[in-house]
């Protein structure tokens, strides 16, 4: 090797070592303390972990394979973890790491029209979410001084609810009844009725059958309800941990829009399954069981959830979140543990009767057992005027109908009450997925309270109601606008509407049987 080449090589090495020395001097090593736990055991939906002494309550823990869990039982020696993923691939001895954060979910306008799970993963095949903001699923309820009274109605499109059991924006109205009595249908109809009403909807399906969820999604899509709806789904084969966090995650999504000053309707379908999933997890974590094997904090489980639904005052945006939680009763037992808990938490209940459902009276709402403790203050004056005595008349009819079935002899007045009550029942019936406008409801109720349906055969009631609704087009536009706003109906406008109804219903009026004779005939026919 020549001296020149040797010198060049030395210079290259010298330059390299100088560069390495400068790089070394720039690097300042630091030690980061990281806790790493170990999986002790894994069972159905939970895992026992030890070796994480600084882990906090409800902290999110990371398992191998990007599986996450919630630190739920914090003991001195070990941690009981609720699993949120496929825990079947975990083994004893696997490493567990802390994340330093709680479970959160992406929020934003991009969620509208999407189907997601409680972790924010999409289920509709439309790609990943682009939301930049995230919110914790567990958040404190708004303070008392930030709330406003319920003063605005939330129209469901169902005559029996809007007229007799009204719901206000910011109210929590429980929907309860036995299995397969139409609870979900009422909630879905309420969602469908929010189209073009500036109300965003969140539907949370908790542990539902895939077929049932698919049917609901098809209904929402058919009526273009995805334009203003977010759907959160956990299926029956998902880990119970996802069922547990689902309603809280859905509520955080609703809160995001509420805090922006918007009105939100949220449906929990259903909280019975939510309570059962929580019971399963609690028993696996060896928490002491109480009544019906539910843990002692089951009341707090739902109270901290439903208290987040409210109507904010103007200083905090003026938004609202109306909750429609659904629960399932067994053998019409309203005094069971979970139903009584939720009745005490909510602002009223809509009870669905299996007997009415079996008779084809849909929606099968038992008016006598249903109540709205807040919504009546938000009901518009036009509704109060046309349905003021409707609930009492219907209750009297049901009592008289019971007596008639026992073969009791009734006077003409009682027979007329039965006749009128049968028309009330017929008018309150409504097909699924066909919510009615405010104007249509008021017209029907006005005709009902003024006895215009009493002389029409029961078999022709559906056709008569359709004709009455179609007659709206013949009214002056000013009256139609007043009806849509549900303002107080002036006497002059009332006479115009009643004249229209009289002309429209004239072809349906019976002339063969007098009212009393016809009622007597129906009673005798019912008695065999």
Q: In whole angstroms, what is the distance from residue 40 CA to residue 48 CA?
A: 5
Using CA atoms of 272, 274, 277, 279 in order, give the dihedral in degrees to the nearest 10.
-70
Of 373, 380, 425, 514, catalytic = 373
**Selection from 46, 20, 484 nearest residue 241 by Cα:** 46
E-assigned strands of 103-219? 104-107, 115-116, 133-136, 174-177, 199-208
Other CB atoms within 10 Å distance of the CB of residue 504: 20
Q: In whole angstroms, what is the distance from residue 257 CA to residue 201 CA?
A: 10
Angle at alpha carbon of residue 134, lines to 129 and 136, rounded to 5°: 130
Paired strand residues for 265 = 201, 322
Q: For tokens 């139609």, what's the residue?
A: 480
Q: In whole angstroms, what is the distance from residue 310 CA to residue 258 CA?
A: 9
Q: Residue 276 belongs to what H/E stretch? A: helix 271-284
| Ramachandran area for residue 148 (φ above 0: left; ψ -120 to 50: alpha; else beta) | beta
CB half-sphere exposure, 47, CA atoms < 13 A: 30
DSSP 8-state code for residue 411 = -
Other CB atoms within 10 Å distance of the CB of residue 391: 16
The per-residue DSSP string of 58-74 comes to TEEEEETTTEEEEEEEE
Per-residue buried b or exposed e for 29-56, using 16+ beta carbons within 10 Å of the residue's own CB: eeeeeeeebebbebeebbbbbebbeebe
Q: In whole angstroms, what is the distance from residue 336 CA to residue 345 CA?
A: 14
Q: For tokens 């038992």, what's the residue?
A: 366
Q: Annotated catalytic, 101?
A: no
Q: Residue 80 belongs to what H/E stretch? A: strand 79-83
**Selection from 194, 337, 326, 320 nearest residue 258 by Cα:** 320
Per-residue buried b or exposed e for 197-211, using 16+ beta carbons within 10 Å of the residue's own CB: eebbbbbbbbbbeee
Other CB atoms within 10 Å distance of the CB of residue 498: 15
Give me 497's structure tokens. Answer: 């509407």
Q: Report whether 251 contacts 305 (CB < 8 A).
A: yes
Q: In whole angstroms, what is the distance from residue 13 CA to residue 260 CA?
A: 64
Q: Report whether 145 contacts 261 (CB < 8 A).
A: no
Q: In whole angstroms, what is the distance from residue 123 CA to residue 264 CA?
A: 22
Per-residue buried b or exposed e for 410-425, using 16+ beta carbons within 10 Å of the residue's own CB: beeebbbbbbbbbbbb
Q: What are the residue numbers of the active site?
A: 373
């Amino acid at each position: 090797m020549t001296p020149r080449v040797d010198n060049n090589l030395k210079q290259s090495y010298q330059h390299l070592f100088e560069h390495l020395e400068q790089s070394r001097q720039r690097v300042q090593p630091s030690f980061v303390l990281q806790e790493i736990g170990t999986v002790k055991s894994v069972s159905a939906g939970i895992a026992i972990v030890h070796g994480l002494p600084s882990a906090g309550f409800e902290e999110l823990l990371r398992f191998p394979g990007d599986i996450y869990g919630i630190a739920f039982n914090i003991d001195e020696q070990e941690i009981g973890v609720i699993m949120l993923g496929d825990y079947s691939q975990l083994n004893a001895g696997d490493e567990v790491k802390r994340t330093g954060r709680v479970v959160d979910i992406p929020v934003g306008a991009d969620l509208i029209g999407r189907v997601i799970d409680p972790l924010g993963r999409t289920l509709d095949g439309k790609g990943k979410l682009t939301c930049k903001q995230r919110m914790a699923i567990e958040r404190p309820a708004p303070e008392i001084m930030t709330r406003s009274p319920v003063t605005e109605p939330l129209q469901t499109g169902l005559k029996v609810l809007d007229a007799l059991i009204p719901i206000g924006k910011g109210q929590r109205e429980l929907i309860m009844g036995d299995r397969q009595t139409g609870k979900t249908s009422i909630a879905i109809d309420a969602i469908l009725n929010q189209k073009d009403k500036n109300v965003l909807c969140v539907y949370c399906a908790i542990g539902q059958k895939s077929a049932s969820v698919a049917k609901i999604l098809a209904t929402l899509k058919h009526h273009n309800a995805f334009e203003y709806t977010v759907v959160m789904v956990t299926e029956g084969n998902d880990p119970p941990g996802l069922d547990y966090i689902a309603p809280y995650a859905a509520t955080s999504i609703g809160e995001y829009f509420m805090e922006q000053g918007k009105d939100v309707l949220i449906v929990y379908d259903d909280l019975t399954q939510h309570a059962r999933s929580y019971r399963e997890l609690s028993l696996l974590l060896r928490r002491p069981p109480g009544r019906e094997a539910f843990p002692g904090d089951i009341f707090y489980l739902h109270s901290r959830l439903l208290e987040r639904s409210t109507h904010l005052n103007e200083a905090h945006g003026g938004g609202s979140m109306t909750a429609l939680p659904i629960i399932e009763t067994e053998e019409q037992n309203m005094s069971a543990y979970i139903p009584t808990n939720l009745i005490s938490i909510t602002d009223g209940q809509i009870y669905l009767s299996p007997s009415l459902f079996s008779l084809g009276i849909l929606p099968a709402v038992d008016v006598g057992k249903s109540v709205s403790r807040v919504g009546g203050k938000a009901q518009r004056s036009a509704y109060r005027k046309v349905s003021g005595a409707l609930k009492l008349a219907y209750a009297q009819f049901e009592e008289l109908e019971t007596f008639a079935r026992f073969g009791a002899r009734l006077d003409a007045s009682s027979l007329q009450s039965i006749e009128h009550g049968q028309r009330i029942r017929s008018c309150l019936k409504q097909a699924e997925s066909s919510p009615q406008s405010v104007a249509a409801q008021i017209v029907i109720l006005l005709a009902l309270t003024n006895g215009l349906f009493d002389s029409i055969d029961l078999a022709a009631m559906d056709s008569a109601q359709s004709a009455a609704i179609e007659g709206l087009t013949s009214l002056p536009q000013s009256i139609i606008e007043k009806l849509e706003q549900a303002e107080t109906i002036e006497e002059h406008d009332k006479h115009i509407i009643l004249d229209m109804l009289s002309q429209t219903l004239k072809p349906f009026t019976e002339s063969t049987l007098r009212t009393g004779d016809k009622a007597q005939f129906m009673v005798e026919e019912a008695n065999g």
